[in-house]
Chains A and B, each alone.
Chain A
Amino acid sequence: MGQITLQGVQKSFGPVHIIKGADLEIADGSFVVFVGPSGCGKTTLLRLIAGLEDVSGGKILIDGKNVVDTPPAKRGLSMVFQSYALYPHMSVRGNIGFGLKMAGLPKDEINRKVEAAAATLNLTPYLDRKPRELSGGQRQRVAIGRAIVREPKAFLFDEPLSNLDAALRVQMRIEVTRLQKQLGTTAIYVTHDQVEAMTMADKIVVLNGGKIEQYGSPLELYERPANLFVAGFIGSPRMNFVTGEPALQKGAATIGVRPEHLKIERDGGGGWQGTIAVAEHLGSDTFLYVDAGALGMLTARYIGELSLHAGDRVSLMPDPARIHRFDESGNALRG
């Protein structure tokens, strides 16, 4: 079991409020990603749950029990750190088994569990190596091994993939997701990368300035962002925002259209006119950055190859069903 509930959790360092009251229900076995720009409090929130920081107010319930006064080791959680925080003088075996050793388990049981964890993560050939003799991806797996071996109620990941190169990051992303599904253990994962959030999460928590902006499944966030911040943060390239006349016509202060929901036509069509400033041809996609005069810069995405180039004039036609409307304070208007 690993159901985690936050009730009005607050954290301040002196006069600075980092977390301004967070309420959250994390279901057992789900994969929840905290995402937001740097300094939004996502790591602090994770550390509060881990017990590495004390809350300034509110409750953290794990399986219904308030743990705010429980030391980290007694909360039954395990954590994977950004720097991996492997113990450099211990072998892989020692690293993975350290928590069990501290818990006072007998040696043969520790060995059995360490070897099982190592087998799950393809680390068996490296058990007697030191961390410095491993590659980045292997170190990452050792850190994960250290987390899974204790059979925790939940895993906490603090930007674990940010030190890996792009290709390895994609591979580890899939491995972590698969492992979590296989073990069925609750996971909380912190990242600033919205692609990681979208691909890994069952549910995403978008944080900004110490507040939870929205909590929902990836597609919910993509299709129905609650406000301008979430709309701009989720999705890549980011959503185009248009104010002024076109927005007023829709009865909103701002309207947003995702680049993939702009229909691209050569000059002369309806919609918004502009000149291509930059065209990026990726083969699978074409991204156009269009200078649309008073409307500002707009980004349009075309799936596949489109032979348009910088300087060409185009018109962009928003898909009327996919226009997001926001009021003056940035909240989404529905209906």
Chain B
Amino acid sequence: MATRQTQLLARSLLTPAVGLLFIWMIVPLALTIYFSTLHYSLLDPGSESFVGLENFRYFLTDPAFLASLQNTLVLVGSVLALTILLGVPLALLMDQPVIGRNFVRLMVIAPFFVMPTVSALVWKNLLMHPVSGLFAWLASLFGLTPIDWFNDVPLLAVILIVTWQWLPFATLILLTALQSLDEEQKEAAEMDGASAVSTFIYITLPHLARPITVVILIETIFLLTVFAEIFVTTGGGPGLQTTNIAFLIYSQALIQFDVGSASAGGLVAVVIANIVAFFLVRIVGRNLEA
């Protein structure tokens, strides 16, 4: 099929798109690298000067860095665990033939279409508000003291919000995978005397290994950069309790107006994302092989 002419044609047609994407990527990256070597404060424009790796030293030795790194990993890990652990049973339920199945599916998918800022506001003001929130009202119904989510357990509150947003994605991917499970395989297991639980453990779960891997990899990419939910609800606080790397970089750049160290932080975040990706691919990536 691919003769020399068609290959040449394909390449020349692809070149503009690839070239544009490359410029799109390389210009910000080059600028970020350039800024990261400057003393560059927005409060003191015109005073930019080359400082070498000073910004990196400053960013990495900042006590906020380790705290935010830990918060990032806890946030990513918890949301991954929750979306998978809740997504699998949800997908199993939605795979059952029930009345109004299409409507149920639509409703379950809905949170994914809500903007992060909007959903964070809804959770902050309508659900988790310690005075007027739904959870506070529920707690008072049972005579309990309402939880002040964003002061007492701020990271957990953020985790719950992000989980609510990403659960539909996990459920949807797992549901489509379940629907592709060969009906005859389940029947074969039934003939082999496998109970519902054994069928789940030996047939369904191995079948889901690959979609679970996909969910983990894709969610990780987005969860490493969670920002809007934190910005809207806790502003990274109290203290540093909900500051993740993305929010820390934001605060360096636009609260402390230190573009240089924010750029350095951005590059550190790129390295961290690559380290996480490396381990993820090592751990779960083999599920993706043919």
List A residues 144-191 near B (Cβ within 8 Å): 146, 150
Are A81 and B184 CB-contacts (below 8 A) given A89-B209, A102-B198?
yes
CB distance A146 to B182 under 8 Å?
A: no
Known: A83-B184, A85-B184. A99 touches B193 (CB 8 A): yes
Contacts of B185 in A (CB 8 A): 85-87
Segment from A54-62, A72-80, A324-332 that makes contact with B: A72-80
Most buried by A among B191, B198, B207: B191
Bound CA–CA A72/B198 (angstroms)? 15
B48 within 8 A of A: no
With A and B bound together, what is the CA distance between A77 and B206 in angstroms? 26
Interface bin, chain A: 20 to 34
Closest residue on chain A to residue B206 by CB atoms: A89
- Mark contacts of B187-199 with chain A using CB atoms, 8 A cut-off: 1 yes-contact digit, 0 otherwise: 1111111110010
Taking the complex as formed, is A195 at the interface, i.e. its CB lies under 8 A from any CB of chain B?
Answer: no
Partner of B192, one of A82, A132, A146: A146
Interface pair A50/B184, CB less than 8 Å apart: no
Instruction: Count chain A CB atoms within 10 A of each CB in B188, B189, B194 and give the residue with the most.
Output: B188
B67 CB–A CB distance under 8 Å:
no
Q: Mark B215-236, 1 if CB is under 8 A from A, else 0.
A: 0000000000000000000000
What separation, in Å, do the CA atoms of A102 and B188 have in the docked complex?
12
Kindly list chain B residues whose C-beta atoms are within 8 Å of the C-beta of A81.
184, 187-188
Q: Which of A73, A82, A85, A132 contacts B193 (CB 8 A)?
A: A73
A246 to B: closest C-beta gap in Å = 49
Give the interface centre of B189, B193, B209, B290 by most chain A CB atoms within 10 Å: B193
Q: Quick check: A79 and B206 within 8 Å, CB to CB?
A: no
CA of A98 to CA of B185 in the docked complex: distance in angstroms?
Answer: 12
Q: Is A24 an interface residue (CB 8 A)?
A: no
Q: Which residues of B contact A146 (CB under 8 A)?
A: 188, 192
Residues of A within 8 A of B290 (CB): 132
In contact, B193 and A102 (Cβ under 8 angstroms): yes
Nearest residue (CB) in B for A75 is: B191
Contact partner, B190, options A73, A82, A90, A150, Cβ 8 Å: A73
Asked if B202 is at the interface (CB within 8 A of a chain A CB), the reply is yes
Contact mask A102-135 → B, CB, 8 Å, 1/0?
1100000000000000000000000000001000
Is A52 interfacial (CB 8 A cutoff)? yes
Asked if B33 is an interface residue, CB under 8 A from chain A, the answer is: no
- Taking a contact as CB atoms under 8 Å apart, the answer to whether B203 and A79 are in contact is no
Contact of A98 among B184, B192, B195, B206 (CB under 8 A): B192
Min Cβ gap B5→A in Å is 36
CB-based contact A82/B184 at 8 Å: yes
On whether A79 and B188 interact (CB within 8 A), knowing A85-B182, A102-B193, the answer reads yes
Given contacts A98-B202, A102-B198, is CB(A83)–CB(B182) below 8 Å?
yes
Given contacts A81-B184, A82-B184, whether A87 and B202 have CB atoms under 8 Å apart is yes
Once bound together, how far apart are the Cα atoms of A78 and B182, in whole Å? 18
Are the CB atoms of A87 and B193 closer together than 8 Å? Answer: no
Tell which of B182, B191, B194, B198 touches A79, judged by Cβ atoms closer than 8 Å.
Answer: B191
Q: Which one of A71, A102, A103, A146 has the highest number of Cβ atoms from chain B below 10 Å of its Cβ?
A: A102
8 new A-B contacts, CB < 8 A, other than A52-B187, A73-B193, A86-B188, are A73-B190, A81-B188, A86-B185, A89-B207, A98-B189, A98-B192, A102-B192, A102-B194
